[in-house]
Chains A and B, each alone.
Chain A
Amino acid sequence: MTDMRKRRLSRPGLLTLAILAALGLRLAGANPAVSQTSVLSAYKVGGDDWLDPTSGGWKRIPSIEVPLSAQAGIYPSGGGSLATVEVRAAQRDGELYVWVGWDDPTKDVRSDAVERFADAIAIEFPAKASSSVPSVCMGQADSGVNIWQWRADGQNDLAPGYVLHDERSRPTVDFYSEEDRFYPAREVGNPYAKGGDNPVQNLVAHSFGSIGPADQQPVSGRGAWDGGWSVVFSRPFGSPAKGQPAFQDGQVIDVAFAVWNGSEGDRNGKKSVSSFVRLSIGDEQLPQGMSPLGWAILALGVAAALRLSRHA
């Protein structure tokens, strides 16, 4: 230990080491600064199944941690059982991907009883360019928001062979009509009632109580649970309609997050919400791990620095 203390690095050695280390880290794809700011970068990526939240690619993308709180707008509704969510973003071939992960030991995938509520996550964008930021709480009259919501029960309903009313009715009912007219919510086109093939809903809102489905449903999503949820949303860059933002390279846009924990009775305004954070849809390529060149330069740098320090 005494020897080590005596072997101090000289100033040129330190400088060289720092430069080379930074170069090495850069080439290795690590960007420690990102995780300490609230800017979420959508890296350019290729290959991989990016809609799969468990895909290895997502682990290589730097994440940021977004704090959440109880919903405390002009019409507070409680919630706030979750402190933070971890988020990542990527872009590939003109499609934006957002990955969100959070701890949730209770996997609530069913809403098939009156007292049972499902887990869910939503991400929210301002309808227009980020120069005028709407209220994070559902926007306002002249400045709406576009919300993508993934629901665990929506995804569960799509599971092969799952019949919602099976358990309850099978023993006693001989015949049911499956016609839509006996499901008024389906008959009138309530997308929430209709099920379909997508657990994500593309919604628009311009004030409290105004949220409703957008005419177009171009947002995809998938969730996976392993002691917590990881969910990926994706949508092509082009705006599907007025009130829903277009994305483009080099753009910085606001994005906010909300999480519902079914076990806590969370639904509607009862949720854990974030403020807006910045999403940078840059042209940064996602480094494919530590390249051999990076390792070589880092090793050379360390060796050179040590050598310089000995000669000092």
Chain B
Amino acid sequence: MAITVTRDRMAPVATRWTGSGVAVGSTAVVACLLAWELAARGPLADAPFPTVVEIVRSLLGLLATGAFWSSLGQTLTTALMGLALAIGAGVVLGVLLGSVEFAYRSTRLIIEILKPIPPIVIMPLVILLLGPSAEMGVVLVLYGCVWPILIQTVAGVRDADPVLIDTARSFGFGTAQRAVQIVLPGAAAFIVTGVRIAGSAAFVIAVVSELVGGAPGIGHELFVTQNAGLYSEMYALVAVMGGVGLGFNTALHAFEKWMLHWHPSVRGEVTA
């Protein structure tokens, strides 16, 4: 049963990349870019709609500047720091709430209420407290990422096999030893899934905190280029964010697979 629960409903069906698939896909991409180019030269020539050539030129220009790389690094640092703190807090609290029934039931309502409130809602307060700083971004990422990890950890801990725990107890394992050697490995599949779900939000939240909240990073660069009227730079930055987002998600999927290579859900690729 544990396996079906950890596979969330959003997990994509494995796509087989056949040779013709890649060919069709890249043809479509090229066709889209061509259509864009033609639209930008023709009917939309007067609109703030730069051509692909201009965007690529701006992109190459950006890639050559140190400022671009340092702001991109800043954004990734914010996202990863927030995620790391969320993992720490989520796993520790999750093990606690998952193993102490009283704590679980006492906090359930608070978690239920806070979980669906997105980070942007609390952003005005966090800006007041921390200013438009990287710390502000980290706090927002932490807030946004901690819920899925916490909830998955609680579910994983509560799912632990009681026979396994009783066996460990009769072999003389202490509470801490049981938590580290029995409960945590058993909950690992749940936790890693929680980390993947949370992680895909981390980069997005970091960008929000920069674009709306003014924290330093690539989102803030977008705000600056918008105010300066540098249209093709804006498009280039959005394209970069798409690429980085794609890379982030791919890395998270790879991380999940690597962490759980021993787990039946990965080994067999069962479509439960």
A binds B: no
A residues neighboring B (CB under 8 Å) = none
